[in-house]
Amino acid sequence: MAILDTKQLLTKTFDTTSGGLVTRESFFKEVATITTNQSIALSGTYTPARISVFDYSEMVVQVKVAYNAHAIAGVTVRAFASLDSTYYDTDAYGIFGPDLLAGSARTKTRKIDVRGLDSVELQLTNNDSTFAATVNLLKYAIVKG
Protein backbone atom coordinates (compact mmCIF):
# COMPACT_ATOMS: atom_id res chain seq x y z
CA MET A 1 0.00 0.00 0.00
CA ALA A 2 1.41 3.40 -0.96
CA ILE A 3 1.74 6.16 1.60
CA LEU A 4 -0.34 9.21 0.74
CA ASP A 5 1.39 12.55 0.82
CA THR A 6 0.03 15.94 -0.15
CA LYS A 7 1.52 19.26 -1.25
CA GLN A 8 2.00 22.35 0.87
CA LEU A 9 -0.70 25.00 0.46
CA LEU A 10 -0.33 28.76 0.45
CA THR A 11 -3.35 30.70 1.62
CA LYS A 12 -4.23 34.29 0.86
CA THR A 13 -5.61 36.49 3.58
CA PHE A 14 -7.03 39.99 3.24
CA ASP A 15 -5.32 42.37 5.67
CA THR A 16 -8.05 44.82 6.75
CA THR A 17 -5.62 47.28 8.40
CA SER A 18 -3.69 48.10 5.23
CA GLY A 19 -6.20 46.94 2.62
CA GLY A 20 -3.60 44.64 1.05
CA LEU A 21 -3.42 40.97 0.24
CA VAL A 22 -1.06 39.00 2.47
CA THR A 23 0.23 35.54 1.56
CA ARG A 24 1.13 33.26 4.43
CA GLU A 25 1.86 29.58 4.81
CA SER A 26 -1.18 27.63 5.96
CA PHE A 27 -1.25 25.71 9.22
CA PHE A 28 -2.59 22.74 7.23
CA LYS A 29 -1.34 20.59 4.45
CA GLU A 30 -3.89 20.21 1.68
CA VAL A 31 -7.09 18.59 2.89
CA ALA A 32 -7.29 15.30 1.01
CA THR A 33 -10.31 13.13 0.32
CA ILE A 34 -9.34 9.47 0.62
CA THR A 35 -12.56 7.82 -0.49
CA THR A 36 -16.17 8.52 -1.40
CA ASN A 37 -19.12 6.12 -1.62
CA GLN A 38 -17.18 3.06 -0.45
CA SER A 39 -19.35 0.15 0.68
CA ILE A 40 -18.14 -1.90 3.65
CA ALA A 41 -19.60 -5.40 3.75
CA LEU A 42 -21.36 -6.67 6.84
CA SER A 43 -18.75 -7.29 9.54
CA GLY A 44 -16.18 -6.12 6.96
CA THR A 45 -13.03 -4.05 7.26
CA TYR A 46 -11.70 -1.50 4.77
CA THR A 47 -8.13 -0.13 4.94
CA PRO A 48 -7.96 2.75 2.48
CA ALA A 49 -4.74 4.59 3.25
CA ARG A 50 -1.43 5.10 4.97
CA ILE A 51 -0.75 8.79 5.45
CA SER A 52 2.65 10.43 5.97
CA VAL A 53 2.53 12.60 9.10
CA PHE A 54 6.26 13.15 9.65
CA ASP A 55 7.00 16.62 11.06
CA TYR A 56 3.35 17.32 11.90
CA SER A 57 1.62 17.52 15.27
CA GLU A 58 -2.01 16.68 14.64
CA MET A 59 -4.14 14.90 12.09
CA VAL A 60 -7.82 15.71 11.66
CA VAL A 61 -9.91 12.88 10.22
CA GLN A 62 -13.52 13.22 9.09
CA VAL A 63 -15.82 10.35 8.15
CA LYS A 64 -19.42 10.38 6.92
CA VAL A 65 -21.28 7.06 6.98
CA ALA A 66 -24.71 6.20 5.58
CA TYR A 67 -26.40 3.53 7.68
CA ASN A 68 -29.02 1.06 6.46
CA ALA A 69 -32.55 1.72 7.75
CA HIS A 70 -32.34 -1.48 9.80
CA ALA A 71 -28.71 -1.20 10.95
CA ILE A 72 -28.01 -2.38 14.48
CA ALA A 73 -24.30 -1.48 14.82
CA GLY A 74 -22.10 1.37 13.60
CA VAL A 75 -18.77 1.90 11.86
CA THR A 76 -15.50 2.29 13.75
CA VAL A 77 -12.49 4.23 12.43
CA ARG A 78 -9.12 3.12 13.77
CA ALA A 79 -5.76 4.83 13.31
CA PHE A 80 -2.63 2.68 13.57
CA ALA A 81 0.68 4.44 14.23
CA SER A 82 4.10 3.77 12.70
CA LEU A 83 7.51 5.18 13.52
CA ASP A 84 9.07 4.04 10.23
CA SER A 85 6.20 3.50 7.71
CA THR A 86 6.99 -0.23 7.77
CA TYR A 87 5.76 -1.56 11.08
CA TYR A 88 2.31 -0.45 12.28
CA ASP A 89 0.81 -0.93 15.73
CA THR A 90 -1.37 -4.00 16.20
CA ASP A 91 -3.55 -2.06 18.65
CA ALA A 92 -5.22 1.13 17.46
CA TYR A 93 -3.54 4.42 18.37
CA GLY A 94 -6.87 6.24 18.01
CA ILE A 95 -10.47 4.98 17.74
CA PHE A 96 -13.69 6.83 16.91
CA GLY A 97 -16.82 6.53 14.81
CA PRO A 98 -20.03 8.31 13.97
CA ASP A 99 -22.96 7.44 16.23
CA LEU A 100 -25.41 4.94 14.81
CA LEU A 101 -28.74 6.32 13.68
CA ALA A 102 -30.38 3.70 11.43
CA GLY A 103 -31.48 5.02 8.04
CA SER A 104 -29.40 8.19 8.20
CA ALA A 105 -25.99 9.56 7.31
CA ARG A 106 -23.81 10.55 10.26
CA THR A 107 -20.55 12.53 10.28
CA LYS A 108 -17.77 12.54 12.86
CA THR A 109 -14.50 14.48 12.97
CA ARG A 110 -11.65 13.62 15.30
CA LYS A 111 -8.25 15.16 16.01
CA ILE A 112 -5.39 12.69 16.56
CA ASP A 113 -2.00 13.64 18.05
CA VAL A 114 0.69 12.46 15.60
CA ARG A 115 3.81 14.11 17.08
CA GLY A 116 6.83 11.84 16.66
CA LEU A 117 5.11 9.47 14.22
CA ASP A 118 6.15 8.80 10.64
CA SER A 119 2.80 7.66 9.27
CA VAL A 120 -0.71 6.57 10.21
CA GLU A 121 -2.82 3.81 8.67
CA LEU A 122 -6.59 4.29 8.69
CA GLN A 123 -8.95 1.34 8.95
CA LEU A 124 -12.76 1.33 8.92
CA THR A 125 -14.79 -1.55 10.33
CA ASN A 126 -18.50 -2.16 9.85
CA ASN A 127 -19.61 -3.60 13.20
CA ASP A 128 -23.01 -4.60 11.82
CA SER A 129 -23.24 -8.32 11.02
CA THR A 130 -26.53 -7.91 9.14
CA PHE A 131 -26.17 -4.88 6.82
CA ALA A 132 -23.46 -3.18 4.78
CA ALA A 133 -22.57 0.45 5.49
CA THR A 134 -21.54 3.11 2.99
CA VAL A 135 -18.70 5.52 3.69
CA ASN A 136 -19.86 8.62 1.83
CA LEU A 137 -16.69 10.53 2.65
CA LEU A 138 -13.35 9.99 4.37
CA LYS A 139 -10.86 12.85 4.40
CA TYR A 140 -8.04 14.26 6.48
CA ALA A 141 -5.89 17.31 7.12
CA ILE A 142 -2.51 17.46 8.84
CA VAL A 143 -1.67 20.30 11.23
CA LYS A 144 1.86 21.70 11.42
CA GLY A 145 3.51 21.43 14.77
pLDDT of residue 30: 60
DSSP symbol at 129: S
Judge whether 9 lies within some domain: no
Q: Domain total for the chain?
A: 1
Q: What is the pTM of this model?
A: 0.79
What's the pLDDT tens digit per position in 39-79? 999 999 999 989 999 888 889 999 999 999 999 999 999 99
Letter string b/e over residues 37-55, b meaning 16 or more CB atoms within 10 A of that residue's CB = ebebeeeeebebbbbbbee
Judge whether 48 lies within some domain: yes
CATH number for position 52: 2.60.120.660
Instruction: State the pLDDT confidence band at 32, using cuts at 50, 70 and 90.
Output: confident
What's the pLDDT tens digit per position in 86-133? 999 999 999 999 999 999 999 999 999 999 999 999 999 999 999 999
**139 pLDDT more than 50:** yes
Judge whether 117 lies within some domain: yes
